[in-house]
Structure 1
Amino acid sequence: MRDKNHVDKLSLEWSESSSADNSQTERDILDELRPHKNIKEVEITGYRGTIFPNWLADPLYLKLVKLSLSYCKDCYSLPALGQLPSLKILSVKGMHGITEVTEEFYGSLSSKKPFNCLEKLEFEDMPEWKLWHVLGSGEFPTLENLSIKNCPELSLETPIQLSSLKRFEDSGSPKVGVVFDDTELFRSQLEGMKHIVELDISDCYSLTFFPFSILPTTLKSIEISGCQKLKLEQPVGEMSMFLEDLNCINVIV
């Protein structure tokens, strides 16, 4: 594979019916499938090793713009993807062995900020993920779209400063929704979202309060659904005034 310089996209999928006898063997197989440095998109589905080979986070992949890791259920850590220089879209789904996303995810801190070009980040169906370590050093400087779906144990206790974020979606991750219950924490989170235009929150059963009064004026759309404990304590008229003044045009509760 590494000699095929004309290949733009590589998709690797393991059969669901088979199981791995040796994690090192699985890693060796994936290592031998290393693509040429001209690759632009990589999809890996159902990989059965416990860790990924080093090539997946090699900063010499200057043209790699899209990466998808799906249902690699035995993996217990993510590679240093933050050092991929041109990565724009990252999707991580069904990684059932992940309990923490640590400093390793960002890679070695050089002159460039981690995930220097990333525009879209998606985490989905990660039932054991509990901790997302935040560096607080300006990571994700160009991120516009963040989606967290079906990560029921993940808790965001520290605001992630996302200065370029335009769309935030939280679905089926109730502990992430708790950030909206804490006015000061939510205020801190919003202070770093200078371009946010859309909030989409669904199935956050622990969400009881939403601070409409401190929403930024950049917001154009808010969607809230399936939050059964949410109580809108403000009168409808006052809430409508808030939303009208803040230019928010779509609210579903």
Structure 2
Amino acid sequence: MLPSRMQDLVNLCHLDIRGTHRLKEMPKGMGKLKHLNLLGFYIVGEHEENGIRELGPIDVHGSFRISKLENVNNSGEALEAKMGNKKHIHILELKWSSEDDDVVDVETERDILEELPPHSNLKELSIYGYRGKINIPRLNCRELPPLGQLPSLQHLQIIGLHGLERIGEEFYKSHEGTSFRSLEELGFYRMYNWREWHIPDKLDAFPKLKTLRMHNCPVLSGDLSAPFPALEELQIWNCEVLAYSLLRAPKLHKIYVTGFKYSMKKAAPHEVRIENTEQVQSVLEYCPVSEV
């Protein structure tokens, strides 16, 4: 553990806790360290004195991770962290680490995530373990926050959101017309209950997206026909029921596919790797390459 009187160091500016892998919670009263700008990560404790509210007065810089978000009780606590005011955070990780048998209130967990909106200066965001496990039968739809409102976001990874079933209009909402206008890399990983990715027909989004990765999304289905004008690399692994057509990706030149039903038209990529799919021939009809 860190020293219990850490909060008395009121003029502390830098606290390097890298490598403290056994650290389970933060000392009480960290919010008193109002000059602290280098912290690295914060572990949300189970008590008010070391909960997420303590982040409110701290203006951390650079890369920052918040873990054990399952200890946040409600959206009011999350709001007091004042994440939207922290304009110097450029890389942010939000991490839940609940056990599989924990019961999660879908609405509460969603509200908590919505009250942790980063500043628009954010360039990279990762979300881990947000499940929203259902405990009310009628609740069968989970939503992501409107990340399209982050104009500086360049890298986005969404990992292990087992409660998410659909991504729709709420994901793209932007006050400035173009959604995800700076995003260059987008990845979805271990999304075991994700079934639908809906992109509205006339949506202006992803103008700079170069890399799209979709790994282990076994029930995702449908067709994606939205334009990706800058897309260069596509990875789709173990998305067994997805029938995918890329019709508007003129710069696409790298495709990696495995365990996946795939068809592609109007593209001539330079590098293709296709494995464990029953529809290899339908791909090769449009690609001047040989099967791997």
| CA apart distance, 1:160 | 2.2
SS at match of 2:241: helix
> Given the superposition, is the C-alpha separation of residues 222 and 33 from structure 1 closer, same or farther in structure 2, using an over 3 Å criterion?
same
Aligned counterpart, 1:50: 109
Give the TM-score of the pair, scaled to structure 1. 0.75
2:66 equivalent in structure 1 = 12
For 2:191 and 2:237, the matched residues in 1 are separated by: 12
Residue 87 of structure 2 aligns with an amino acid whose one-letter code is K
Determine the structure 2 residue equivalent to 1:182: none
> Greater helix share, 1 or 2?
1
**1:139 equivalent in structure 2:** 205
Q: Aligned pair in 2 of structure 1 residues 162, 131: CA closer, same or farther (>3 Å)? A: same
Counterpart of 2:79 in structure 1 is 31
- Closer, same or farther: CA 41–175 of 1 in aligned 2, 3 Å: same
Task: Confirm or deny that 1:72 pairs with 2:130.
Answer: yes
- Tell me which residue corresponds to 1:94: 160
Residue pair 1:57, 1:83 contacting (<8 A) in 2 also? no
Partner AA of 1:38 in structure 2: H
CA contact (8 A) 1:56 1:79 kept: no
Query: Counterparts in 2 of 1:93-172, with a 5 A limit?
Result: 93-108=159-174, 110-136=175-201, 137-172=203-238
2-structure distance, mates of 1:107, 1:47: 28
| Cα shift at 1:14 | 1.4
Match of 2:279 in 1: 230
Structure 1 position 199 matched with structure 2 position 247: no
> Larger Rg: 1 or 2?
2
Q: 1:118, CA displacement in angstroms? A: 0.6
Once the two structures are superposed, residues 18-63 of structure 1 have per-residue CA deviations (whole angstroms, 9 ceiling, x without a partner) of x76xxx72434433333422211110111665214445445xx232
Point out which structure has higher relative CO (alpha carbons under 8 A, 6+ apart).
Answer: 1
SS in 1 for 2:75: helix
Question: Which of the residues 213, 216, 232 maps onto 2:267?
Answer: 216
Supply the distance in 2 between the matched residues of 1:82 and 1:113 (Cα, whole angstroms): 8
User: 1:111, CA displacement in angstroms?
Assistant: 3.9
1:53 and 1:233 mapped to 2: Cα distance? 41
Taking only the aligned residue pairs, the percentage that are identical comes to 22
- AA of the residue aligned to 2:256: D
1:31·1:53 contact (CA, 8 Å) conserved in 2?
no
Point out where structure 1 has 5 or more consecutive residues left out of the alignment.
Answer: 180-185
Local SS of the residue matching 2:61 = coil
Q: Secondary structure at the match of 1:25?
A: coil
